[in-house]
Amino acid sequence: MSLDVLKAVLDCFEHGKQAVLATVVEVKGSAPREAGAKMLVNADGGIVGTIGGGTLEASTIREAGKLMEEQGNPKLVNLVLSGIDMGCGGSAMVFLEPVNVQARLLIFGAGHLGLEIASFASRLGFRITVVDDRMEWATRERFKEPVRLLVKPFDEAIEILQPGEKDLVVIVTRGHDYDQTVLEACIGKNPAYLGMVGSRKKVKTALDKLRERGTDEELIARIRSPIGLDLGGRTPAEIALSIMAEIVAFQNGRDDVRPMSRTTGSSHPG
């Protein structure tokens, strides 16, 4: 595998991007590349690396696109090569392997609540990134779980992380202004889950600000706030448990479970 292709695959895992890795496993007759050649096909049809161009590459991109659209399993495809660019013709077997990117849990806020959420999420096997602009809070002494710590201003961190459509975003910063910054920066990126702690008053204020900025109502409707199932808890650990319970229910298609009351949601326990 070339270094460019390897870097592109790692970038997919880092930023939650969908892609398919194509590998030539067998060639017959005239083919532009030998077995072992690799190419990464991105969701937009762009490629990194090459398996020879021409008909082979075009057919591979088309088949990879179908695989991503269908969210199918890895498969072998037999591609018959033809056209002027293929000379005498031939065929190639290409293995298409989806880059199965695990959804990231992006926790904005390294306070007491963020710490407890990361702890529960780690036990559940989530791939976690915790963001805070305070170096003294986002430390390995506090976060002992295998999480990524990103100490940056929240807007800069979002540009680095580039939340994707599979990612889960939890906003539990230390103040309403910071929450609003993260909310406004993330909503247009359309993450799978976008949740924010807050009281009914805070939620209304945040959503009104989005409307003032012309945010589409369909996007606003996807925001979950306050987050957490109504378990009756009030400590950071209890609230974190309720939040992770809601996220697990969400991932399992159980949106019928009872959410936190909008009148009793926690404002800033972290």
> 98, 122, 142: which is the final residue of a domain?
98
One domain for residues 132 and 214: yes
Please indicate, yes or no, whether residues 52 and 185 belong to a single structural domain of this protein: no
Nearest residue to 129 (alpha-carbon basis) of 99, 101, 100, 106: 106
What tens digit of pLDDT does each residue of 68-85 get? 888 788 999 998 876 545
Q: What is the pTM of this model?
A: 0.70
Model confidence at 108: pLDDT above 90: yes
Are 149 and 130 spatial neighbours (Cβ–Cβ below 8 Å)? yes
* Domain contains 257: no
Same domain as 16, residue 115 = no
| Residues whose CB is less than 8 angstroms from the CB of residue 186 and which lie 6 or more positions away in sequence, other chains included | 158, 163, 169, 171, 194
Distance CA 174, CA 163 (A): 21
Domain that holds residue 68: 3-98
Confidence of residue 11 (pLDDT cuts 50, 70, 90): confident
- CATH assignment of the domain containing 163: 3.40.50.720
Helix (H, G, I), strand (E, B) or coil at 187: helix
Same domain, 82 and 10: yes
Query: Domain tally for the chain?
Result: 2
* Residues 119 and 93 reside in one and the same domain: no
**270 inside domain:** no
Q: What is the rounded distance in angstroms from the CA atom of residue 47 to the CA atom of residue 60?
A: 10
Q: Are 159 and 68 part of one and the same domain?
A: no
Q: Is residue 67 part of a domain?
A: yes
- Domain match, 72 and 144 both: no
Least Cα distance to 198 among 152, 238, 243, 231 occurs for 243
Whether 191 shows a pLDDT value over 90: the answer reads yes
Does 201 reside within a domain?
A: yes
**Residues 158, 132 within the same domain:** yes
Please give the Cα distance from 114 to 181 (Å, whole number): 17
- Domain identity same for 45 and 135: no
155 and 73, same structural domain?
no
Q: Which of 207, 232, 201, 203 is nearest to 219 (CA)?
A: 207
Q: What is the pLDDT of residues 122-152, one digit of tens each?
A: 999 899 999 999 999 999 999 988 899 999 9
138 falls within a domain: yes
134 and 214 share one domain: yes
Which of 98, 114, 132 is the endpoint of a domain? 98
Is 188 in a helix, a strand, or coil?
coil
Residue 25 belongs to some domain of the structure = yes
Using the predicted structure, report yes or no on whether residue 267 has a pLDDT greater than 50. Answer: no
Give the pLDDT confidence score for residue 14 in this predicted structure: 76
Asked whether residue 132 is assigned to any structural domain, the reply reads yes
